[in-house]
Each structure stands twice: as structure tokens, then as C-alpha cells.
Structure 1
Amino acid sequence: MKDMVTPTMPVFEDMLAAHDRIAPHIHRTPVLTSAYLNGLSGAELFFKCENFQKAGAFKVRGACNAVFGLDNETARRGVATHSSGNHALSLSYAAGRRGIPCHVVMPRTAPQAKKDAVRGYGGLITECEPSTSSREAVFAEVQAATGAEFVHPYDDPRVIAGQGTCSRELIEQTGGLDAVIAPIGGGGMVSGCCLTLSRLGPGTLIFAAEPEQADDACRSLRAGRIIADDAPETVADGLKVPLKDNTWHFVSRHVTDILTASEQEIVEAMRLAWQRMKIVIEPSSAVALAAILKNPEIFRGKRVGVIVTGGNVDLDRLPWSAG
């Protein structure tokens, strides 16, 4: 396995090395289009479907890069993380592929489908309260007890480099784009887009999309400093976490704007994707489409890459179902 260049921040060469490292363990996901959604938005939309990724989410890219970049001695102690779901199950998947333990701290309110997936991949779950402060406190106890290598869900150079492989594929598959938009919570995927597009698509505008009820990244960009909410409530469960130093580095330097969408707009966009594209996407993924439909004047006439970040949905608790 190739050693990763390890500066304070990941560099473009780290993304290239990550793509080689993780290739045996991930899918090169398809890019889909929809004439209906093009007409609705006035843009030419290219959906990078990470909902078809291993473990059902883009986060398997960063998780695999971190796990398969470990030396054998470190790997034997296993890996550990805290996550609302997709990073937890992705790290569990990667650890299982390497045959090492994976310890995960998850909010007790995380979707049952994601908890089941973590356990299905062999991850060992410790539950916490649904707040950033609780998850970090409980995680500290778990890591102290296990000695496992911490792989942060997003504020980790190895993870950011892995996530950057998604936009590399997107550019290769589309031949170039005017803009790319991705959901933002902690900022791992958006940071990966910034890392890759600054070299491969320097003229490509980078947008992020966020729930109105968890808009700390939007407020951070406007304030010029990280603003962190501890326990926001939103249907987009994967976007409740705040930016951290590594991701803020990329977001503050490269993101054109962060757009927000209401809970109703997110659910409507999710349902629209299910109905028109016949694909299963989760609420966190739908925020990007919701932001485009809410702000058509920004994207009209442009070729726009849309990162569909995941498709891990609790089918017994769909957000448009009654009760």
C-alpha cells in the first residue's frame, strides 16, 4: 500500500494515492441524468450516484483510504469513530474488509437501518445522546478503553483525500462542469470536492447545500469563522454536525456559497428523486437538489454536478409517511 503524504492538510497527490488505494474496495458509481429535472431547474444536471456506493454512501471512500493506509501494528488495534450513520457503517465495512475491529459511537436516535447496517458489517456500537458534546465525550471513553485508531468522520486528512476521489470520477465521467453542489454537514465531501476541483476544474464553482434548521456552515461562511450548533433538529440526519478546522480550511477558501433548504423542500426533493429518477436517496442527499430547485437563477443554463451522497433510508419511517 502506498504511503500517504501527510501535511497538515491533504494535497492533490493524496487524493490520487487514495484513488489507487481504495479502488479494489469501492464502486465507480454511475452518473445519471433526468430530462424532467433539467426542465424543472433550467440546468443540465449530472447526478453522481453515491447511493449506489458500497455501504450505500460516499463515506466508504474516506473510510477505506484511512483503514487501508494504516500500518499493520496500528491496524491490529482496530479503528474507532463517532457518527450518525453513514461513516459508522462505512468504517465498519472497511474494517471488515481488512479483518480488524471497528468501534462506533452512534446517537441513540440514529436511524435503525443505519444501526443494523453497522452491526451487519461487524461494527461494535456504543450509543450516546444526540448532541455533538455527548458523542465526543462517549467516544473519548471508548477510545481510551480500546486503544483503537481514531478515524474522524470528516475532519481527517485521510478521509478528505478519500472523499476527493468522488469528484475526480465525476469530472472524468462528464468531461467538465460549470458547477458542483454537494450537501454539507461537517464538510468532508465538500472539502474533497475543493481539493480535487482546485486542480482538475479550477473554473468550476463549488456550492454546498444545508438544511435551514442546521445551517451552521452557512452562518460560518458568512461570519468568516466556525459557528457550531450542538444539537440541531432536521430530517437530514447526516448533516447535523459542525465544521472543524480541516474542513473549514477548504470551505472558507474555495466554496462559492452555501445554500439552504427548508424541511419541506428537502422532503419534496427526496420524493421527486424517488419518483422521477427511480432511485433511493436519503434526506441528506436531497438537500442539494432542493437547493437547486429553490435557486434556479444561480444554476440556469449551467452544467451542474450534483453529489448524491447516500441512500441509506429507514423504509419503515419515510418522511412523507403519516404518523
Structure 2
Amino acid sequence: MLLDPNPNAEIDVDVSLYLPTAEDAVQSSEFSQPIVGPSAEFLTELIDDVQNSRSAVLRQEHNDETDICWLAVPTINEGLVSSIVVIRYSGVLSRSAALELWQLSDGRAELSLHHGCYGPMSHFRAISEHVHFPIGVGLPGTTWKMRQPRMLTPLGTSPEFVRAANAEKAGLESGIGFPVLGSDGELDSVLLMLASHEIPFAARFEIWTEEADGLVQLEVLNAPRPAGNPSSWDGDKLRETIEDLIYEAFEQRQAVVETLPVLVTEEAASPGENGHWRAIVLPVLAEKQSALVFWIA
């Protein structure tokens, strides 16, 4: 197993929502900290790339202090970009974690690695660059086939995860797959979030789908760090709030980023207890609608 090279490195995850207009991309929700200097120019180029390609974009920015990985995920409605969620990961790649963007080849017969952020996992990167996924094969291929978000854990022993042995050596234990639909409503790419037990990408992931009798929560993945009493995540009031946000995303045909008070008990300490948690809803606007919901402090 590859141990985290710098387990004490500070992790910073931040998010913002952009709603493109006829003239520009309007920032709907702001980053917690202003983006200035070279990163501001980097962010502008990122937004332009998404609007021009109408596809998800994954980029890595290098500076003197840490590697920053930028992820921009669009929601496409009737051929147009209706929203762009931009997530800025700083320090995440100092852990055993990887972000991958798998894109359909020109013949649209299989998914190939388009871009990846791997930190020190050079061997896992090298293996991934030579792997291709037909529909229904591996986590990217099954996410493509099902056209809804997927969770897979543990990766190292899963027969579904093609790179299981390599994932185990790299210390990767959990995987999230998210399908990005293109302008024609068909799959454009698949985003994978792969992480060790620490799961540095978010405090919690949830997968929801819309059924005939309402929304159903299919899967949940919690990060093993203080995030309030676990029961606080599953309270009726919070569940109703999440369902409202998902329905809003479906009705508005765009992603939703909402700041909510954290729910903790008196005994629990939370990284967001002095402020709020941010809930991000990424909808999949397929025939059967679904959503990936995740929380950051």
C-alpha cells in the first residue's frame, strides 16, 4: 500500500456555481476565499473551456506551495450549458487520491483517460493511461451504461474495478463515478473520484434517483472525520431539505450549491461548526433523473 506522503498537509476544498448567460458566465455562489493572482486567470480560462467544449474540464495548477486541482462540471440542458460547478482542491493530492476524466473516443466505442490528477501515484497514472473501458465494463463503463452516479468500495477487492490490484497498492479504497451528459443528451464523459479511507474530496457523498413514488437515496459514503453526529446526517428535516434541493436542480435543469447550517450534537465537533456546510447537487438529466449530492465544510 502506498502511504500518504504528507498526511499532515492541509486540505482545502472550495466550490462555486456559475450560471452562463448569453454574454458571460455569472457567478451565482462565491468561493469561500477570493480567487486572486494567477489562479484568477486560470479560473477564467477554465470557465471558457467548459463553455466552448460543453464538457467537463479537469486541470492541475502548480504553485510554490501546493498542487491545486480544478474540476469544472457542466450541466447541459437542450444543448446549452445551464450551469457550471467549479471545485478547487488544494492539498488533496498530497493524500492517496485521484481525480480522473474518462472521455468517449472518436468512434464512441470506449472510454479513454482524457485527464487525471494523481499526486505521487505515478504508477497508477501510468496503468490508467493504457486502460480503455467499453460500455458496462469497470466503474467508468458501468457508470456510462447506467447513466447515473455510482459508488464502489472497497476497490481493491471488487471484481468490477478493473484496476483493483493497482488501486490496492496505491491505497485507494473508494470510488465515485459521475456521468457527464453532452449536448445531445448522450454520455460525453465519466468523472471518477478515487480515494483512500480518508476520502478528502468531501465530508459525505449521497446518490439519489427519482422513482415513480418520489426520490430514493441509493447510496451514502461518509468520510471518517468529525462531521457531526452521524444521526445528524439522517434526520428528517435535513432529508427534506436535500430532497427540495434535488427537485430544484431537476426543475431548473441546473446544478445547485446551497449553504446550510450544520446539524451537530453538543458532543460532536465539526469542521463547519463555526459556519455552515455547503451542499452541492449535480443532476444527471437523463430519462431517469438522478443526482450526486456531496457536502463540504
Instruction: Give TM-score scaled by structure 2 length.
Output: 0.36
Which structure shows the bigger proportion of residues in helix conformation?
Answer: 1
| Bigger RCO (CA 8 Å, 6+ sep) | 1
Which structure shows the bigger proportion of residues in strand conformation?
Answer: 2
